[in-house]
Structure 1
Amino acid sequence: MSTILEHCQPKNTILKKVKAKLEQIPTPMGGLALGIASLGSAWAMVSPNWVEPIKITSAVIASILILVIVLKLLLHFNLFKKELAHPVIGSVMPTCAMSIMVVAQSLFKVMPEAAPILWLSAIICHIALLVGFIANRIVNFELEHMVPSWFVPPVGIIVAAVTSHGMNFDGLVYWLFIFGISCYAIELPIMLYRLIFRAPIPDAALPTFAVMAAPASLALAGYLKITSQPDPLLLLVLAPLGVFMTGLVYIGFIRLLRLPFSPGYTAFTFPMVISAIALIKLTDWLLINNFTWLATITDNLAWLELIIATGIVSYVIVRYVFHYMVKPLFFASR
């Protein structure tokens, strides 16, 4: 009997160590997974000869990151509830579900039957996280707690529209888009009031300012995905707003990139990528409708934004690898 217990003890020790390591994984890393998966999709849009290798590679990397986060939350359920109740961490948790939607679309050609199930499951998870976030914020609402990442739970659901090709849920996607863009229209003026007239965002949450670049561009990308005949007036609102907000965040990077590293750096990634994706989609629509001169402008802007997005995502990956892998190995004793 004692021999059996001695044999099991090392395994229990290993499991405890793994569980302890997983607890240290930052949940905001879901934003990095979303940025990587989306960046692969963006480059696939402009690299027709390398579509599948690019999308699959980025999807695999993102899947590994998401799997680690999911394991952490499953093994530490009390921590999951605590983080969901946090005004900043809780707001970025849906990025995990958004990442899975992008991964599902990236793997659609190689997994045509499983991809829609994965995609639909991600939507259900996103809605559950949205409900949980809203419930916690209603109970503990303070305007000063409001940060730009609060756009993620309600507006981020539009990723379902962007990734809906081949999923055959057109009705669902339409209403999710309507919900997301309506939430943006309601939340944007409140967010601007909070940012301009109330206390500044604390440095710890300041990276979330980069999220300001995402909603308008995400809405534009989603809108161009669900309809082939978009309302020109809505395009005239979303496209300039998306470019303006992205430009604002570029200026903000002068300060944001000087902040000490934190898991919140992931907020820099997806907003930059979706801004480029929106302009790529807009360029395609303009070319189809013979707005060649305007398409030339948006195409140049799209390439500029894609290059910047690639640089930002690469930078955040390097910072994450150094902080969570290199630093513990070589600088832990110092």
Structure 2
Amino acid sequence: MRHFHQPPLVLSGLILGMTALGNLLGNFSQSLRILFQIPAAILYLYLIFSIIKEPKRALEELRSPLIASVFPTFFMTGLLFSSLIIKIGNFSLGHSLWCLFLVGNISLMLYYIWTFVIHFKWSSVFPSWSVLFVGIAMAALTAPFSQHFRLGQVIFWLGLLLTFLVLPFMTYKTYKIGLEGATKPNISTFCAPLSLLAAAYLATFPQPDNGMVIFLLISSQVVYFFVLAQLPVLIKRAFNPGFAAFTFPFVISATACRASLIYLGREQKFHIVILTEILIATALVTYVFINYLIFLAKKKVQG
């Protein structure tokens, strides 16, 4: 019997990107939402079942500081899907799952701090520290569904603080010490934290401050274009599972840009910018999704 190879844990990064892109495109077409979120849900269940089937393999993967720093995307995806469950009318189930995934995210952060931060080595530092320490802000972004606005606000400020704490480490490791070739797609995660915080701020605060919105918008877009300028070099290499890093950071950047400009009443003026960022994010997610399917298919083994 032939079956697909067990998926790598970093597949969760692609699933998160597809789910978030479905939410973004859902503002324009429910068909586009379904186009990305149904396959994302299937891949998510596939990943969950593979973890349940081979827990030792999953735990072994989490001994890698790189994989462990990316795996918060698994719980971030769970928070998004939980909010979708709440949206379709099952608050009890969605809220319970939301709380469960939040606890899972926090637990992974504590595991990483205990295992890799307390016993600090530069070899354990990656740009995906932004996902590890700021990804919890997904709880703030989904606060309108969980109804935990106060908790979301606390998490936002914590995420903002952690962003400025970890950015110097990420930058020094990436551009001074350097990254191995296969891990360079991870650089894309630089543009995720500030964009996620920008979107989360608008979602969880009932009366956003214009100054804060502008600050988060400008700072996140500066980092976005900094990463975008490197994209041709970063993506010009043989596909590997780490290409999942090209998905969510670009999706959340487009999401935050659109939401911020709508709030500021500048959506029409910067319509081309918004559309361009959405198209780039869609192209990247589609590209990585197709290549992941090819990657998994090539890994078929005899059973």
- 2:274 corresponding residue in structure 1: 302
- 2:180 corresponding residue in structure 1: 202
Aligned equivalents of 1:188 and 1:171: distance in 2? 26
Aligned equivalents of 1:314 and 1:101: distance in 2? 22
- 1:180 corresponding residue in structure 2: 159
- 1:3 corresponding residue in structure 2: none
Give, as a single letter, the amino acid of the residue that structure 2 aligns with 1:99: T
Alpha-carbon shift at residue 206 of structure 1 (Å): 0.8
* Unpaired stretches in structure 1, ≥5 consecutive residues: 1-13, 288-293
Give, as a single letter, the amino acid of the residue that structure 2 aligns with 1:37: T
> What does the per-residue CA deviation read over 1:262-287, in whole Å, with 9 as the maximum and x for residues that have no partner?
00000000001000110111122112
Determine helix, strand or coil for the equivalent of 1:296. Answer: coil
Highest RCO, 1 vs 2 (Cα 8 Å, sep ≥ 6) = 2
Q: Does residue 72 of structure 2 align to residue 100 of structure 1?
A: no
Choose 1 or 2 for highest CA Rg.
Answer: 1
- 2:198 corresponding residue in structure 1: 220
Q: Does residue 233 of structure 2 align to residue 251 of structure 1?
A: no
- 1:313 corresponding residue in structure 2: 285
TM-score, scaled to structure 1:
0.83
Give, as a single letter, the amino acid of the residue that structure 2 aligns with 1:94: P
- 1:168 corresponding residue in structure 2: 147
The answer (yes or no) to whether the contact 1:155–1:184 under 8 Å persists in 2 is yes
Alpha-carbon shift at residue 328 of structure 1 (Å): 5.0
Task: State the superposition RMSD in angstroms.
Answer: 2.2
- 2:122 corresponding residue in structure 1: 143
Where does structure 1 differ by over 6 angstroms across 4 or more consecutive aligned residues?
Answer: none
Alpha-carbon shift at residue 59 of structure 1 (Å): 3.3
Aligned equivalents of 1:100 and 1:302: distance in 2? 27
Equivalent residue runs for 1:56-75 within 5 Å: 56-75=34-53
Aligned equivalents of 1:92 and 1:328: distance in 2? 22
Alpha-carbon shift at residue 83 of structure 1 (Å): 1.9
Aligned equivalents of 1:254 and 1:174: distance in 2? 36
Percent identity between the aligned chains?
A: 28
Determine helix, strand or coil for the equivalent of 1:166. Answer: helix
Aligned equivalents of 1:231 and 1:131: distance in 2? 32
Give, as a single letter, the amino acid of the residue that structure 1 aligns with 2:139: A
Alpha-carbon shift at residue 258 of structure 1 (Å): 1.0
The answer (yes or no) to whether the contact 2:258–2:267 under 8 Å persists in 1 is no
Alpha-carbon shift at residue 152 of structure 1 (Å): 0.9
